[in-house]
Amino acid sequence: MNGSSSHTQQQTIPVVDLAAWRSGDVGFAQELGQALEAYGFVAVENHGVQAETRAKALTQVQALFDLDDPIKNSYERPKHGRQRGYTPRGVERAKNVSIGDLKEFWHIGPELDEDSELAATIGANVWPHELPEFKSAMLTFYDELEQCGRALFEALAYYLEVPPTTFTDMLNGGNTVLRSIHYPKPEANHTASGGVWAAAHEDINMMTLLSEATQPGLELLTREGEWLPIHPVPGQLIADTGDMFQRLTNGRFPATTHRVVAPPEQRSARYSMPFFIHPHPDTLLTPIAACAENAGGLRYEHISAHEYLQNRLRANQVLRENSRI
């Protein structure tokens, strides 16, 4: 995709250069759109997230998960669907999977004023008192990822020939979540159980951005039914489209099944920091006209982003059946 990239040959999915879009090269939108239609995934270079920003965030995340379990457990917020604060390993499971994932994670969202109308809907952030630098490091990382995401959605609007703010307007007031994940060091016999850190699933949100994880393991399911590894190439973000964007585009941009599997030789933990881009909770996930007209009509029912999220969190076992967030 991006022939000038020094990393292109090292990656298994198309690679695009966001600097091209920001410099006015509209050909970027074609490369991006075609990659996501074909794979649901794309690698992004020159994305604007600074290496120093990521490094500081990662240092804080590693320190966070080194805290004693009783301390981490004190930051659990299950009644809010675990959309903020800490979730222990084994709690979240993929849809229709009976075994919990081998991971623990921490969520932050946008910082909201107490009088914000969204505060009651999407909840306030939880910050670990033991790590005074955690908040600033993570919010800086959050902001840089958000700017990258907005640029990608502007390019996708161009690709679909719809108004440039069609998707970015949906993001205003959105419940976008930065998740920090610790996958534990695999057991010696993990190959016998498949070494699955996170079971096969599709993302719930509009788009996910993932700066390079500390270890390999991410795999996507190709249209041919084969698992394709995606490499954690330094300097790249991996972007993938989720169920909400699949709905908004009437299936044109698929939510691709993926998983995280410890390679057979893996003997160390894995840290990962995916950024789940969500629209405003009131956004209706009704396919936009540009994607519905030539696809035989609407393929998805009307539902709000908030209601859809609640349904999926219940399926993932992180929201109690009779609870609301």
Domains and CATH numbers, the chain: 8-315 (2.60.120.330)
For the chain, first and last CA: distance in Å? 41
- pLDDT, one tens digit per residue, over 16-47 is 999 999 999 999 999 999 999 999 999 999 99
Q: 181 has which bridge partners?
A: 105, 272
- pLDDT, one tens digit per residue, over 113-140 is 877 777 777 778 999 999 999 999 999 9
Q: 27 has which bridge partners?
A: none
List the one residue out of 89, 81, 88, 85 whose CA is nearest residue 134.
85
Distance CA 304, CA 62 (A): 35
Confidence of residue 192 (pLDDT cuts 50, 70, 90): very low
